[in-house]
Amino acid sequence: MIWLASLVVLLPFLGAFAGMLLGPSLTRLLGGRSGTDTPPLRNGPALIACLPIAVSLVLAAIVAFVAWQDVDERTGSLTLIETGSVLIEVGLQVDWLSAFVGLMVCCVALAVHVYSVAYLKGDRRYSSYAAFVSLFTAAMLLVVYSGDLLVLYAGWEVMGICSYFLIGHHWEDRANSRAAVKAFLVTRLGDVGFLLGVLVLGVGAGTFEIDEILRNVDELSAATATAATLLLLAGVAGKSAQFPLHTWLPDAMAGPTPISALIHAATMVAAGVYVVARLHEVFVEAPTSLVVLGVVAVVSMVGSALAALAQDDLKRVLAYSTISQLAVMAAGLAVGADTAAIFHLLTHGAFKALLFLSAGCVIVVAGSNMLAHYGGLRRGMPITFWSMTVGLAALAGVPPLSGWFSKDSVIEAAQHAALHGGESAVASAAVTPPGSTPGLYALDVDPDGQVVNLPGGVAWLVYLGLLLTVALTAAYAMRAWLMTFFGEQRGSYEIREPSRLMSWTVAVLAVPAAILGFFGLGAAELRPHVGAASVSFLLVVVGAGAAFLVWNGDPAADPARVLGRARPVFARAFYVDELYALVIVRPIRALARYVVTFDRRQVDAAVVGSGRGATWLGGRIRFPQNGNVQNYLTGLLAGVVVIVAGVVIFL
């Protein structure tokens, strides 16, 4: 199975380079013309990109099926790299976690590739676009299947540079290039901490091999575990766009919409959550880090949900929604529900990719990202309407769609922690007396007896934050749905479905977004329970109902108007960007201007002055050597006279 996983990673990697080098040539060979509306079957870059990803998807499905049947972990090593201290093992690791996340990545990547063929038809840089998407996919798969932290870090950084190039795909637009630079700088800031955390953890454990670290986690000192996990959380906050490094994600919506679906909804932003889940036993050994993770999750989920409620741009609504849903996963990890968090990661990948690609269909037809320019689209776009309805309902947690199952699992774990003084449900199951009814999370009991214990106040904060987020999510999902598809048309465009390649890709994605939740019924910790499910469903009804009542009062107006003076605050995401500009950007720019001025007036002046002084001195020194023979003879005679006079006088 390791060989299959290796091929899953390798095929997109080869497709990236083949597409960049051979894509245009294959287009001409098939009778197409680069830079025009080439049919899909004659589009060389598209074929080279789609076919390897399709094969990878089949292989990833086989790997996931085998992992489903046999949960035993499999590892394989290609080579060992001698470093003089801790060895680096270039190898892969396959278990249920990596198998299913890898399958999700391949599904989303293939959908994005197929969708992009129509969305970016005629784009003169499509070849490089397709190549970077394939390279990004290979890097994400390397992160997922990696068995060594430093190999994981290599994939982590390749994802970052691919994200930079893809966000700035249309770099001629200044806003796009600035968004790409902002994303690169903010995520790199977190990655500094991430790399230090990897080094601290690897050196402290004596190995970078993930399996060995987890096997010997009890041997780590509390200080090492805490320092390593806190540093890792810096990278997680950057990659998964969590407070305070979340500000890059909304601006990254300037990139092509398929990229928003691939990188900024379903895959790259999930990498941080995935790493925490992969190293969850280490985080359990560092309660302080779990407290930080829980508090950051609450701030991110509630703040981003409020921001989404007031956005005018459809893609920014989905961007802030992504930050909020990733925080829900982080909250699940904080309370010990790592299985539920990963389940929500999988369902979120399905319905959020669906939502972004559906939004792309709407944007192509309406020619605008703004909700105020939509209205009445359900009449001419039935496929997009029903697909996006499924996506928004899954996002809000409407039963029996996928988001309801996964979100309810996280909420139930948080409820248990809150009601039991911060003790995780894993702990409850671990101490169940023989012969009694198993605890809620009996299947998730750690064989080593590891237990997550949050402070009671933090557990309640996480639980209440999740409940508030459920209501807010339903409200902004209902607002976006009503303003997009209902009421009167607020534009002069023709309402129709876009290309079949786009609309049918969206329709296919609606299937897993609808039914994926049922696959969790085989695990006790993922089954809905009446108490928590009833509370969350009631909050969905309250949030969605409030948005509907406000909209129904005046369908031509934006329901967000009832926010009043709070709306600008929410729309600007509590002015965090402005705060960073005031506290960080402006001082750095002022310092840069001072450095430039000092360089010009002092350093440059000293250099230029030295040159001018040397020139002046050289001019004076060269005066006797000006090539005038008369001056030479005059000097010679004067010297003879001086010598003779000296001899006569002194001798």
Amino acid 465: pLDDT? 96
Residues paired with 131 in a beta bridge: none
- CA torsion sign for 120, 103, 57, 13 is positive
Please check the confidence at residue 446 and state whether its pLDDT lies above 70: no
List the alpha helices (DSSP H) in 554-603.
Answer: 566-571, 576-580, 586-598
Confidence of residue 616 (pLDDT cuts 50, 70, 90): confident
Q: What is the pLDDT of residues 253-280, one digit of tens each?
A: 888 888 888 876 667 888 999 999 999 9
Please check the confidence at residue 196 and state whether its pLDDT lies above 50: yes
* Nearest residue to 473 via CA among 526, 418, 407, 427: 407
Per-residue pLDDT, averaged over 473-483, amounts to 96
Amino acid 582: pLDDT? 93
CA distance 178 to 495: 33
Cβ atoms 153, 198 nearer than 8 A: yes
CA distance 225 to 232: 10
Give the three-state DSSP class for 248.
Answer: helix
Residue located via tokens 């199952």: 405
Amino acid 37: pLDDT? 64
What is the separation of C-alpha 41 from the centre of its chain, rounded to a whole number of angstroms?
Answer: 31
Cα atoms in the 13 Å half-sphere on the side-chain side of 411: 28
Query: How does DSSP classify residue 370?
Result: B
Q: What is the pLDDT of residues 63-90, one digit of tens each?
A: 999 888 877 778 887 777 877 778 888 8
* Domain ranges (residues) in the chain: 149-570, 579-650
Buried/exposed 51-79: b ≥16 CB within 10 Å, e otherwise: ebbbbbbebbbbbbeebeeeeeebbbeee
Measured CA to CA in angstroms, residue 166 lies from 134, 161, 255, 355 at distances of 11, 9, 7, 19
Q: What is the pLDDT of residues 564-579, one digit of tens each?
A: 999 999 999 999 999 9
The residue among 246 and 602 whose pLDDT is bigger is 246
Amino acid 68: pLDDT? 86
Confidence of residue 440 (pLDDT cuts 50, 70, 90): very low
- DSSP secondary structure, 465-527, as one string: HHHHHHHHHHHHHHHHHHHHHSSS--SSS------HHHHHHHHHHHHHHHHGGGGGGGSGGGS
CA distance 63 to 69: 10
Measured CA to CA in angstroms, residue 55 lies from 9, 50, 69, 126, 360 at distances of 11, 9, 21, 21, 26
CA distance 70 to 15: 31
CA distance 157 to 143: 10
Cβ atoms 85, 204 nearer than 8 A: no
Residue located via tokens 């040539």: 25
Please check the confidence at residue 439 and state whether its pLDDT lies above 80: no
Amino acid 503: pLDDT? 92
